[in-house]
Chains A and B, each alone.
Chain A
């Protein structure tokens, strides 16, 4: 059950105003008083009465019911349970909706692992490995549950036992998510904490995702960018981190990979270079105590001269079978067979017809089952 203050704060958040305006609405007011003042038209922040029209009395019950349906709790900026790292932030959200354990962030440093949604195999693997190692060493991994890097990082933390993961959503808790996101979101809530500054039932908006990144930057002691384009959402996190003096680290990538252009640019501008969990731990002043997880290897698959030639034709970029046939001079049938053998041995991976070489340091077990079997 929500207290009266929490209900009033949730209803104010459900008005859908910007984070800054919500802060002003609650600044110096008890939430119950702010809500009451809005109803009577006495709130100075609502000069033209637009919010008074929107703040229908039944909103209190509606929001409370939506929170109860999702098992959400409400955190107030100066109330108990509100993340300490966030409370002093100048842009801190006035109200947070959470699911999971409110105390999940206590103890241990936090690292935001962020990157592009359209990440390559290599980027997702690095993100997963970093997430797993950080969690195993008691570091909270903060991420946004977006597809690509964010999701891969949290999947990594879920493989380890250690510090609890924290997700900050750019949409309300009950907004649309793909099935993969929903599964990870539920798993993170079970082990740690999922936060959103938007009330359930409100409309999402694109700018909310960029705005959410300031929360991740404020929560983190370090921001790690795994793969990023030259522009994109990850840059909001980087800029928010710089404003707050939070150090930024980046994972290097191939020059041929468009999704690594942003991280390489960060490195050129002086960001710390990280290659795996140990590098990130070193930046935090920790050292690796748990050996990296060993992955089962598939039985050796016979790979002939064709397979070696195909493997040698890869640069750092994704290729089609056409490209590989041109580079190796082999026929399509030979390239197809070679790729099958290499895929079975875990040396290459395919995403929608584009082949990538698995990074040698991070090579995982054979062909992992993909999300949806192609039938």
Chain B
């Protein structure tokens, strides 16, 4: 007997259709799975057999061969458990082929016959042929509905067989997603720290990557975690992209549905594959892709390994990650706002003149870990000091996130009028025509160029930030001295700071 059941497997953030073919022939009882299965798929044999028997259904006492077509594509994950089980039941005459021909199945099986959720339901449901209805574990129904108009769900294999044959009815779908409440982290909790707050506002408005330099306890993490609240909500197209990435990585999708930009904060022990994505078969999206449309926060930037940091440069430049392996290539979206925090030197006190007690070589080593090209991507780099005790205890609450977000939205609308997503994407030619400098602004930039404090590329970065500063204050004329001065200050952390102590 032979049977064929539709399913899909995950490749990066894309689903690839898979046809599960089952053949039962005479021979000693055995189950073979062919067609480039990975370990999880190969282990499906034992789960499927236990689940079928637990559901009270017959297991074929013959030789069973399962082929996963197309056989050139690597199959991964436990999501193929369910289609394999269904295929065996059809081949064993427990189900009729016409019961299953309109459906595509995804799901992991428990030994007791229960159906468990698997990652990547959205891209996999996207990949099924038109006219086919995805059948998923009950817990994944809401997620699958985001990709397909009609979705069927079941809790157990027995319940599913009953519904397919018409002996029982499909269970009611679960209640729709409850959108989680707005995150409590509000900018109003931050007392003092004007420079840090201002840097957050400018970063959100202009899409400028931001680096905080400061000793432990200066509020770097507190500030960075409040940046997502300032970003405008995701657009419809972005929501679809972000949903696919989150689903493919098995991350919760509820917050994305609310349009909230994601915040990812990987630990500094992260490997380069964890950060940019990859793996040998699955091509799981990495942290940069999970941060797509939102914020990637790298705390303790100096503790990340250099290979990990250098792997960030290409996605920062292009907004996508191209993961290339011997067997497969995947392109994952990765356009994010990078916020990083670091200590100025190993002892943490390095920026305050006269306070650092590190050895020369320790400081030099620490600075060498961060490659120039990566540090160059930060339009904003500000020094944070430990907050003033008076501010913390008695200071007035700061502006709320909502108030700042309003200014950010207005500034982004102005930037959109220049034909770019945000000011950080302004090309030098566009800067010249659409964001002109006043004579006093030009003079200030020229002074810094002449003294060697600013490189030619640095000038354009300051220029873009100055445009964002002006947009935030509702100034639409040529950029004045004060806008350029503020932009210069918002990148002052690296000014005059090298391990040579700035003496030469």
Contact = CB atoms under 8 A, between A and B. Distances in A.
A151 to B, nearest CB: 5
A334 B473 CA distance: 13
B500 A179 contact: yes
B359 to A, nearest CB: 8
B354 A318 contact: yes
Contacts, number: 193
B501 A322 contact: no
Interface stretch (A29-37, A80-88, A113-121, A273-281): A113-121
A178 B193 CA distance: 34
B44 to A, nearest CB: 54
A373 B455 contact: yes
Contacts of B481: 337, 340
Interface string A318-351: 1011110110000011111101100010000111
A290 interface: no
A323 B385 contact: yes
Interface stretch (A7-15, A192-200, A364-372): A364-372
Contact of B354 (A120, A151, A181, A183): A120
Nearest to B502: A370
B364 interface: yes
B452 A352 contact: no
B493 A322 contact: no
Given A155-B503, A320-B195, A336 B489 contact: yes
- Give the contact-size bracket for chain B: 35 or more
Contact of B453 (A176, A178, A260, A369): A369
B213 interface: yes
Given A155-B503, A326-B192, A259 B497 contact: no
B181 to A, nearest CB: 32
A340 B489 CA distance: 9
B489 A373 contact: no
Interface stretch (B33-41, B237-245, B322-330, B345-353): B345-353
Interface in B326-377: 344, 350-361, 364, 372, 376
Interface centre among B213, B382, B504, by most chain A C-beta atoms within 10 angstroms, is B504
A349 B451 CA distance: 13
Contacts of B469: 333
B305 to A, nearest CB: 22
Contacts of A151: 501, 503
B496 interface: yes
A93 interface: no
Interface centre among B350, B352, B361, B499, by most chain A C-beta atoms within 10 angstroms, is B352
A180 interface: yes
Given A120-B353, A373-B455, A336 B502 contact: no
B421 interface: no
B458 A373 contact: yes
Given A117-B360, A352-B344, A375-B458, A370 B488 contact: no
B351 A353 contact: yes
Interface in B433-490: 444, 447, 451-455, 457-458, 469, 473, 481-482, 485-486, 488-489
A323 B119 CA distance: 49
B491 interface: yes
B80 interface: no
B297 to A, nearest CB: 20
Contacts of B457: 375
Given A353-B382, A353-B495, A325 B352 contact: no
Given A326-B192, A354-B383, A340 B453 contact: no
Contact of B198 (A229, A332, A354): A332
B492 interface: yes
Interface string B373-389: 00010000011110010
A277 B372 CA distance: 39
A147 B354 contact: no
Given A326-B391, A350-B495, A356-B353, A371 B455 contact: no
B194 interface: yes
B145 interface: no
Contacts of B359: 206
B498 interface: yes
A147 B501 contact: yes
A229 B358 CA distance: 13
Contacts of B385: 320, 322-323
B500 A147 contact: yes
A133 interface: no
B45 interface: no
A326 B357 CA distance: 28
B351 A373 contact: no
A333 B192 CA distance: 15
A373 B453 contact: yes
Contact of B454 (A117, A344, A375): A375
B494 interface: yes
Given A117-B360, A178-B364, A353-B382, A322 B376 contact: no
A175 B447 CA distance: 38
Given A333-B486, A371-B502, A351 B447 contact: no
Nearest to B358: A118
Nearest to A335: B489
A351 to B, nearest CB: 5
Given A318-B354, A371-B498, A180 B486 contact: no
Interface in A163-220: 176, 178-181, 183-184, 206
A258 B469 CA distance: 36
Given A180-B503, A333-B486, A352 B493 contact: yes
Given A322-B195, A325-B194, A123 B500 contact: no
Contact of A340 (B364, B444, B503): B444
Contacts of A371: 498, 500-504
A367 B451 contact: yes
A294 B364 CA distance: 34
Contacts of B358: 118
A353 B213 contact: yes
Given A147-B503, A320-B385, 12 more contacts: A124-B501, A257-B354, A323-B385, A339-B489, A351-B501, A352-B492, A353-B351, A353-B497, A366-B451, A369-B451, A370-B452, A374-B495
**Smallest CB-CB A-B distances: 10 pairs:** A353-B383, A259-B354, A352-B497, A180-B500, A375-B455, A369-B452, A120-B353, A336-B489, A352-B351, A337-B485
9 contacts: A260-B354, A320-B385, A325-B194, A340-B488, A344-B447, A351-B353, A352-B351, A354-B351, A370-B452
